[in-house]
Structure 1
Amino acid sequence: MSVRAGAAPLWWLGVVAAGVGVLVPGLTGRRIGVMAGGALFLIALAAVFAVRRGRYAASARAATRAARHDVLQDRRVTLANWRRAHRWWLAGAFLAAVCTSFVLPTAGGLLLAGAGAGLWAKAAWLGRLERDADALLWVPVDRAAKGLAGRPVGPYRRTGIAAGDAAPGGARRPARV
């Protein structure tokens, strides 16, 4: 699933922006900035994890078996496409997080990292749904640009747990020995 694609860039850009924020004293001081950033991290994690979970669950329940004509994309291609499409948003979010460090040190970076952690938690939740159903859930390539859940995407496609190169939740499948 593409949910996991944004988790790593948001997390690492947030951690780097928070690290830059520690170096800048800011208007409010480091202590207040770190405490506010910690609160923003937890709020962002909870909000990103909770948003649209009902839509994802409804699409997972309505999943149909993948047909022969369905094109299911490789995990690496999905990651590359998502990151290429969102690179300017990621750069803008990073720049905004670093700039907020001059007012409230580390807060913007921790907010960004919290959003990445929330996406990772949502991907883990989807992975549990996939393991319980003993199936991998896919968004067809022609509909992936419309989003990941909701009416434009329709129901997910379902394949066996061993299909493709992804483990449940969109993680990399371990190498077979």
Structure 2
Amino acid sequence: MGRGAQSLARVAVIVRAGAAPLWWPGLLVVVVGALVPAGTGRRIGLLAGAALFVVTLAVVATAGVKRYAELGKGAARAGRTDVLQDRAVTLRNWRRVHRWWLLGAFLVALGAGFLLPGAGGMVLAGAGAGLWLRASRIGRLEQREDVLYWVRTDWVKHGRPAGKQVKAYRTTGPVAGDARAGGARRVAV
């Protein structure tokens, strides 16, 4: 990279990176919990799981919303020498850093299924859906401002694009990179 060049990753893609690895294993745990008998019974476990799904979804979807908006307002235009990271690279990096946390969460949810069938899976699925909703909210903010938000990759070592170490976002036009507003894959036409 040239002098002053920095690698940038899409904020919405980082947020959305955890959605699928939490959603699908969560649904798998719910199915397993519905098939395996447990101490409290399927009905109680699934009803408790549904309540936990709604609570987890709401908490994850709304966490840090003010911080994202605050960083978006103070965003500067990306420089000509800045390097924009591909969506696939951002997803791979996030999942590589969090693979053991994801495996641990899956095993804990599976183990919780013997007490409350499906409840642990509903929590995982709720967290995945909450991350997807948060990324969608960032996408709506990007569309309203007609920009895409990027963050320096050296500030996002642990996958938190609005953490304390993040000082500001960078922006590009709405067609930069290979992901749409909200972090979804851009479909070639």
Report the TM-score when normalising by structure 1.
0.96
Contact 1:72 1:141 in 2 (8 A): no
Structure 1, unaligned runs of 5 or more: none
| Structure 1 equivalent of residue 182 of structure 2 | 169
1:55 alignment partner, SS class: helix
User: Take 2:62 and 2:153, find their aligned partners in 1: how far apart are those partners?
Assistant: 25
Contact 1:63 1:158 in 2 (8 A): yes
User: Take 1:174 and 1:104, find their aligned partners in 2: how far apart are those partners?
Assistant: 41
TM-aligned CA deviation for residue 154 of structure 1: 1.2
Structure 2 counterpart of 1:48, one-letter code: V
Deviations 1:67-114 (A, max 9, x none): 123232110000000011101000000000010010000000001000
User: Take 1:105 and 1:150, find their aligned partners in 2: how far apart are those partners?
Assistant: 34
Aligned residues: 176
Structure 2 counterpart of 1:120, one-letter code: W
Structure 1 counterpart of 2:16, one-letter code: R
2:149 alignment partner, SS class: strand
TM-aligned CA deviation for residue 56 of structure 1: 0.7
Contact 1:135 1:159 in 2 (8 A): yes
The 5-angstrom pairing of residues 67-78 of structure 1 reads: 67-78=79-90
Give the helix-richer structure, 1 or 2.
Answer: 1
User: Take 2:146 and 2:18, find their aligned partners in 1: how far apart are those partners?
Assistant: 25
| Structure 2 equivalent of residue 157 of structure 1 | 170
Contact 1:11 1:113 in 2 (8 A): yes
1:169 alignment partner, SS class: coil
Q: CA RMSD in A?
A: 1.0
User: Take 1:118 and 1:143, find their aligned partners in 2: how far apart are those partners?
Assistant: 23
TM-aligned CA deviation for residue 140 of structure 1: 1.6
| Structure 2 equivalent of residue 122 of structure 1 | 134
Structure 1 counterpart of 2:137, one-letter code: W
